[in-house]
Amino acid sequence: MSANDRPTGPQPTAAYDSAFLKACRREPVPHTPVWFMRQAGRSLPEYRKVREGIPMLESCMRPELVTEITLQPVRRHNVDAAIFFSDIVVPLKAIGIDLDIKPGVGPVVENPVRTRADLARLRDLTPDDVPYITEAIRLLTAELGETPLIGFAGAPFTLASYLVEGGPSRTYENAKAIMYGDPQLWADLLDRLAEITAAFLKVQIEAGASAIQLFDSWVGALAPADYRRSVMPASSKVFEAVRPYGVPRIHFGVGTGELLGLMGEAGADVVGVDWRVPLDEAARRVGPGKALQGNLDPTVLFASTEAVEAKTREVLDSAAGLEGHVFNLGHGVMPSTDPDALTRLVEHVHTRTAR
């Protein structure tokens, strides 16, 4: 591709020719790129040190700290991409939702969103609501040079699960009660969240993020027909809103084996796969024209190096025929993971796939 064929918009960044962005675009790569969801964070002693005494949400609002935390795993593991250190609930906090991230629990919403009147609290997000995001991304992209920065946001369903339940849930009964019982309220709620999410992703891309990931972590709780009817329109709206920028759009969820075809249809360029479906089978379900990201079981990292390498080989063999492959775990790094196991894994994938 010549420079003239490159997409318009704030692209191309210095990272344009990186292995990660090439794999997302389904172009030939020098080696399979690797990054890890939750690579920044509690598995790293240097993270625990700089976070000491600073509440999670506050740390997301300090650009220098965000820059340091985002860079830590890049320095340590030699991963092919950085993921912006933030949280999916940051844009909701920024528009005034009374939530906090409680240690050992996760996001907790004081007054859950459950009625039509509550929708009024979900106002539009503007760049002025999140100046610390723009500043952190400017600092980061200057430091990262040719290493791409992945921006991210929570998908409408996963954000709704926290807003409606009021905190982490395994069953989503309050959210599903609205989805099944008051489909119009549900559609309006997800549409509001799609607008906020799209605005939040645009801020990150405008500031220099060279790819984005939409985390629909909990969408695997839905049957395909419900996903298609009640969730896909909102997620598609987010992907469509950021399409003009030409940056790769990644779509990830957990337990989504039965949804992979629909997630492919929803509009992303790259579909994230958890460890339950082998990548060759995932590619058949997702359909042509998409790269895949995944999918080593994060708990494999607690086994011996030999076992990690054997399981990694299975993932790479399964990925051999893909149009594009970004190596990742099937979900986030677990906090008690040995960071050295991650460093070895990156090295192993790079060596085994060097072309």
Distance CA 116, CA 178 (A): 11
Task: Decide: helix, strand or coil at residue 255.
Answer: coil
- Choosing from 33, 41, 112, 298, the residue that interacts with ligand 1CP (CB under 6 A) is 41
Q: Given the rule CB under 6 A, which of 2-10, 79-87, 258-266, 336-344 is the region that contacts ligand 1CP? A: 79-87
- Greatest CA span in the chain, whole angstroms? 57
Residue 43: CB minimum distance to ligand 1CP, A? 9
Q: What's the one-letter identity of residue 261?
A: G
DSSP-derived pairing of the beta strands 99-102 and 106-109: antiparallel
Closer CB to ligand 1CP, 56 or 140, in the complex: 56
Q: How far is C-alpha 101 from the chain's CA centre?
A: 18
Active site residues: 38, 42, 51, 87, 162
Closer CB to ligand 1CP, 26 or 141, in the complex: 141
Asked whether the beta carbons of 310 and 254 are under 8 A apart, the reply is: no
Asked whether the beta carbons of 10 and 24 are under 8 A apart, the reply is: no
Asked whether the beta carbons of 153 and 252 are under 8 A apart, the reply is: no
Does residue 39 belong to the site contacting ligand 1CP (CB under 6 A)? yes
Does residue 107 belong to the site contacting ligand 1CP (CB under 6 A)? yes
Closer CB to ligand 1CP, 56 or 232, in the complex: 56
Name residues contacting ligand 1CP, limited to 167-226 (CB under 6 A). Answer: 168, 215, 217
Distance CA 118, CA 111 (A): 9
Closer CB to ligand 1CP, 52 or 128, in the complex: 52
Residue 144: CB minimum distance to ligand 1CP, A? 14
Closer CB to ligand 1CP, 167 or 246, in the complex: 167
- Choosing from 40, 194, 209, 319, the residue that interacts with ligand 1CP (CB under 6 A) is 40
Q: Given the rule CB under 6 A, which of 36-44, 176-184, 224-232, 301-309 is the region that contacts ligand 1CP? A: 36-44
Close Cβ partners of 162 (under 8 Å, ≥ 6 residues apart): 88, 89, 99, 106, 107, 109, 154, 168
Does residue 37 belong to the site contacting ligand 1CP (CB under 6 A)? yes
- Helical H segments across the chain, by residue range: 19-24, 45-51, 56-60, 63-77, 90-94, 131-144, 156-165, 173-181, 183-207, 224-230, 232-242, 260-266, 279-286, 305-318, 339-353
Name residues contacting ligand 1CP, limited to 236-265 (CB under 6 A). Answer: none
Interacting residue ranges for ligand 1CP, rule: CB under 6 A: 37-42, 56, 83, 85, 87-88, 101, 103, 106-107, 152, 158, 168, 215, 217, 332
